[in-house]
Structures are given as C-alpha cells and as structure tokens.
Structure 1
C-alpha cells in the first residue's frame, strides 16, 4: 500500500503584491481619566497576655470599625476581610554586662491579633471623612488608597481609536516621504490595554492618628491608560 500523503499548512506573514512594500507601525494611544474608585485596607491590631484575650478585644474593636464603615455609606459588598491572624509576641533577650545577649530560647510574653478589611470607596469626595471616622471608631491600621477606574473599557476603547489614528497618520507620512501611497491594512494586533497598577500605600494609621485633623485631605488626580497597536500596511507606487 502506498503511503498516504499529509497536507501541511504553513502560516505565512502578511503578503504584499509584487513591487509593493510592507510597512509595520507601532503606535500608542493614551487617555487620562479621573479615578472613580479608591481601594484601601483598614483594621485593628491588639495585644493580650493570651491569644484568646488579644482576639476577643480585637473582635470587639473590629466590629465597631465595620459598623462605622457601613454607617459612613460603604456597601457591604465593598467590605471584604483581607487578613485575620494571631501571632505570639516574643520578649527581648537579656543583655549581659559585656554587651552581648543571653543565649536562650525565645520566650512568649503575649499575643498579637490583627484583623483587616479591604474597602472600596466609591464616593471619593468622602474618602478623607471616612478615614477619620474609622480612626475615631478604633481602627489603628489604615493603608491606601489605590485609585482606580471601576469600568475602564470605555476609556481604553478611546485609547485604541487614538492609537489607530496615530498609526495611520504615521503610515501616510512614511508613504509620502517614500513617494508611495497606503493601499490597505494587512494586519492589526494589540499589545494589551494598560491601566496604572495599584499605587503603593501613602497612608499608615496607628493609634496616634486619633489626633489627625478633620477631614484628612486627599487628592485623586488623574489616571492614564495606554494601548499600543501594531499595524502592517501595504504601500504601492
């Protein structure tokens, strides 16, 4: 029996007509928008002689913090536990007269309990007031905010249109400089829409924040979203 033949398909890149030229352009489109969402972490850290003591006090204070969040207008769906932990607290080793420290196994002198929630603040003009309310309610840890856009697709689509417009203008420029004209688009690819990652914490609150001014000033600024497209054109005389 004769061996069967297997057809193979070889994928090729963009094909241009004889005498024509391939031009590849990478163009970037940018759009700036004010953020409409602030994400931050808030919580309580307590200490006690036993793990149960630290956790009991923590639960009482954290219940008050969550109640304060809801009273400030934060929806329940925008409050999510991000950390709940209990850890031992070790005493410092005894220092000897020669300046060295006594070699001994670590001694547990108490326990530390931490409970934190991740919060999405949708009313940015109330962010500072919400933080002050949390501190007054007993929160001694606040980290954030990370400013975001809740639904960025619309802005990213504008950036895509801007990138394509820029790519075509650049293609026309190159074609004219070479004495050619743009015939058609051969391919389009996108490197992916980009929005700024969450910003590093700019606020860290502890017990001493109870004397913070009312209300804490917060500047949201703008976020810039970027899309890069790669477009191949066929140029002809």
Structure 2
C-alpha cells in the first residue's frame, strides 16, 4: 500500500498561489474472499493389468473395466458423466547381465467421473476398488458457476480498498473523492483448493471448503 501526491497546478491567470488547492492520488490494494462449499467432484480412476501376453492383458483389462462401468451404473452414475481420459499399452522389460528381456505388457485405462453427489463419493471409491479399479489417481473438488462467486469477492475487494483509502486520508487530514480514478484488477488463482481427508474405514471423503479470492488496485484522488 502506498500513496503519492501530485504537484499543484499553477495557471498563468492565477496570481494568488495561496488559493490553489493541492491535489494528489492515493493507491490502495483491496482483497475480497468468499468461502464456498464444493458442489462438483472429478474422480480419476485407473484399471491396470499386466500379463506376459499382450492379448490376455487387453482382454483382462476390458473385462475389469466393463465390471467397473457396471458398478458405476448400479450406484447411479450415468454414462455421460464417465469419460476415458487415457489409454495406453506398454511393454515391460527386465535387464539381466546387460541384456534387455521382455517380461510382458501393461494395459492401463484411465477414466474420469464427474458427480455432484458429495455424500456418495466414499461408497463409490469402495465399490469400484472392490470390482476392478486398482488406482485412484485424484479427487478434485470445484463449484458450479465459479464466476458468480468471483464477482462477489471482487465487490468485497472494492469495499476493502475504499476502507483503506478512507483510513489513510483521515490520518492525513485530507478529503477523499468517493469514486476511484482507476481500478486495476489483479489476476489471482481461482482458489486455494479444498481440504481432502482420506481414511481407511468406509473411505469417508471430506470435500471441505474452497476460498475464491479477488484482488484489485484502486487509485483515488485526494
């Protein structure tokens, strides 16, 4: 936070300099934060199979993935909320006495699930890991229409900037123009991210809260 004063403007037709009013500007930074509860979860799951035969590894992977998809449908996840995000097949080698020996193949299929059932995430993880999924890559939480929360935080940031400017000018014994001369919006991250708690009994998942922050720089005339 800083402030600067401009020099008086002396005109040629103003012989009495004592009647001039000194004007300047004060620049402050405002911060606004809105705390929101996540309403959307994106869950990345992996089915990975390894076999000395490429065909058998692919067949086993397909069977396990179909089993996972069937479980997801049973617990109410529609197919349009399930997306394949990665599929790969790679050979696995071992090295003996400097020689590269083929051991088999790994088939890896990654899917992403989008759900708004925050209370059912733990059960979903339990069911799919019991029926084919062998890796939970990530669980990411977000909110619908985050721009609405950002605009609310931006409003709070402007009010914060005005309070700071008023406090400074009061200490200086000056008058503050209520409307800023200029506002510069500062780029911020969309949020600090939610707290994620993982436990081993019934896999409870706690989405926690997210903070949406806005920052701006306001220039006022003093």
Q: Same fold (TM over 0.5)?
A: yes
Is residue 215 of structure 2 the alignment partner of residue 220 of structure 1?
Answer: no
Alignment partner for residue 29 of structure 1, among 29, 32, 37? Answer: 32
State the TM-score, normalizing by the size of structure 1.
Answer: 0.78
5+ residue gaps, structure 2, are: 1-5, 10-21
8 A Cα contact 1:35 1:148, kept in partner: yes
Q: CA deviation at 1:202?
A: 7.5
Partner of 1:178: 172
TM-superposed CA distance for 1:231, in Å, is 0.7
- Give the root-mean-square deviation of aligned CA atoms: 2.3
Determine which of 134, 145, 148 is the counterpart of 2:139: 145
Q: In the alignment, is the contact (CA less than 8 A) between 2:193 and 2:211 conserved in 1?
A: no
Query: Which secondary structure state, in structure 2, belongs to the residue aligned with residue 107 of structure 1?
Result: strand
**Structure 1 segments of 4 or more deviating over 3 A?**
15-18, 197-203
Per-residue Cα deviation, 1:122-148 (whole angstroms, up to 9, x for no partner): 111110001111112211111221121
Cα distance in 2 for partners of 1:17, 1:78 equals 64
CA distance in 2, matches of 1:112, 1:30: 46
Superposed counterparts of 1:93-172, under 5 Å = 93=96, 102-104=97-99, 106-172=100-166
Distance 2:120 2:128 in 1: 12
CA distance in 2, matches of 1:45, 1:201: 25
Partner of 1:194: 189
Alignment correspondent of 2:94: 91
Deviates most, 63-72 or 113-122: 63-72
Normalised TM-score (structure 2): 0.83
Match of 1:78 in 2: 81
Aligned counterparts of 1:171 and 1:58: Cα–Cα separation in 2 = 63
Distance 1:30 1:48 in 2: 52
Residue by residue over 1:73-106, the C-alpha shift from the partner in whole angstroms, topping out at 9 and shown as x without a partner, is: 223232111110111111242xxxxxxxx122x1
> C-alpha separation between the residues in 1 aligned to 2:79 and 2:112?
11
Alpha-carbon distance in 1 for matches of 2:194, 2:90:
28
1:3 aligns with none
Distance 1:62 1:178, change over 3 A: same
> Which residue of structure 2 aligns with residue 55 of structure 1?
58
Say how many residue pairs are matched: 203
